[in-house]
Amino acid sequence: MAGSAVRSWPARARRASRSASASVTGLAWNVGSLIVFRVFQGLAAGVLDPLVLTLLARAAGPGRAGRVMGLMGMVLSAGPVLGLILGGIILESFSWRWMFLINLPIGVVALLGAVRVVPADPPRAPGNGTRLDVVGVGLLGPGFAAMVLALTQAADRSAVVAWQVLVPVALAAALLAGYGLHALRGAAARRRTPPLIDLRLFGSAGFSASVGIMTLVGLSMFATLFVLPLYYQQEHGRGTLASGLLVAPFALAAVIAMPLSGRLSDRFGARSLVRGGAVVALLAELGFTRISGQTSEVWPALAAFALGAGLSFVGAPTMGSMYRTLPAAAVPQGSSVLYILNQLGAAIGVAVVTLILTTVGNDGAEPVAGFHGVYWFAMAALAVVLAASVLLPRREPSPVSAPTPAAATGESG
């Protein structure tokens, strides 16, 4: 959700929304109800996650942005792997419903912590708030969903030239183009209803590079984490829990490297760290392209560790760089853009993985060839990250010399 949407919902109502909706999902009685509950779960996450990024960025300030984003990135990178492990335990021992019900006690703990730590919203003067850009929500959300649907349909049908693919593509293009016109035409005129995403933020090369890099990080990370357990299950006969544990080196590397990379970026800037991390991640993905069913499990584990370390030196410095250069008034908008595009990259990554595995499998190739195709795809994404790193500033400007909100965005979002 965008900054205006985040601010429009009282904080105390947001704190338990994500875990509560996830727990309700565990009560689904069929596939249709499961999908509906998952939509509500996604809506809650869309409000909560950018809010957390905004609170952290404001609490840290420009001088400690990299350090704090390193801690946040550690959680975001290790979470999917820990989810694989916990999911393996649940699926091998309990009903699938506990995949969602397990969030209830976690949500209670989070709610109690939020009540104790998170300050209440300050009172607002009548007429001083901002309204939700309903038109933007109606264009942007379905536009991104149609894009992912097109990739999913292409994977299901192993074809790109099919009406089930071309119609969502055309719909996505029309909706996203419509949002662009809506945002650019009305941004200056509607002071109380700012656009969901202020496209003028992308006028900064550093901001565009930061969110673009984080989109590709989400794409390559989730593509690899999606296919690696499948490799262990299909090529080595491992169960769900064992497959999750074999991916754990990625999370271990993130826990070690994320805080370190964040601290270093506060001192030396982001560009050199991102370049070095991208090179390490590229080499790790290259190592994945050399594995087969006869490869010892030690080598994929080492490659996973290297990938986690490399992406850590990309993610935390990039996020820190973005928050160090954003004006304070633009932080909610920046957080929303970062979250939306990172999650979109993850969704597109998983959809492309499915397309590659289905396409290669239908060509009669060895099953491991599909995994290799995914790793080459991730390498291509990381090559773009390496190229885009040149747009990151060598050393970010101090908060005093940072552009004012009016100069950067025209008005706050």
pLDDT, one tens digit per residue, over 81-132 is 777 777 778 877 777 788 777 778 877 887 888 788 777 766 665 555 567 7
**What is the mean predicted confidence (pLDDT) over 259-280?**
90
CA distance 136 to 256: 39
Q: What pLDDT band is residue 396 in, cutting at 50, 70 and 90?
A: low
List the Cα angle 133/47/142 in 5-degree steps: 55
Amino acid identity for residue 322 in this structure: M
- Judge: domain 3-121+199-395, CATH 1.20.1250.20: yes
Sign of CA dihedral 262, 268, 271, 273: negative
The CA–CA distances, whole Å, from 21 to 17, 44, 47, 81, 118 equal 6, 7, 12, 22, 21
pLDDT, one tens digit per residue, over 224-264 is 888 998 899 888 888 878 888 888 899 899 889 988 998 88
N residues, the chain: 413
Cβ contacts of residue 16 below 8 Å, gap of 6+? Answer: 107, 108, 110, 111, 114
The answer on pLDDT for 282 being more than 90 is: yes
DSSP string, 87-147: HHHHHHHS-TTHHHHTHHHHHHHHHHHHHHHSPPPPP--TT-S----HHHHHHHHHHHHHH
The conformation of residue 188, written as its DSSP 8-state character, comes to: T
CA distance 318 to 312: 10
Question: Which pLDDT score, from 0 to 100, does residue 187 have?
Answer: 52
**What 3 state SS string does 305-369 have?**
HHHHHHHHHHHHHHHHHHHHHCCHHHHHHHHHHHHHHHHHHHHHHHHHHHHHHHHHHHCCCCHHH
The answer on pLDDT for 64 being more than 80 is: no
Question: Which pLDDT score, from 0 to 100, does residue 190 have?
Answer: 53
Note the pTM of the prediction, 2 decimals: 0.76
pLDDT, one tens digit per residue, over 354-384 is 888 877 755 556 778 888 999 999 999 999 9
CA distance 255 to 282: 20
Higher pLDDT, 62 or 107: 107
pLDDT, one tens digit per residue, over 177-209 is 998 888 887 655 555 677 777 788 888 888 888
Cα first-last separation, the chain = 12
CA distance 134 to 7: 14
Amino acid identity for residue 227 in this structure: V
CA distance 101 to 40: 15
The answer on pLDDT for 160 being more than 80 is: no
- Quick one: tokens of 51? 């809010």
Question: Which pLDDT score, from 0 to 100, does residue 407 have?
Answer: 38
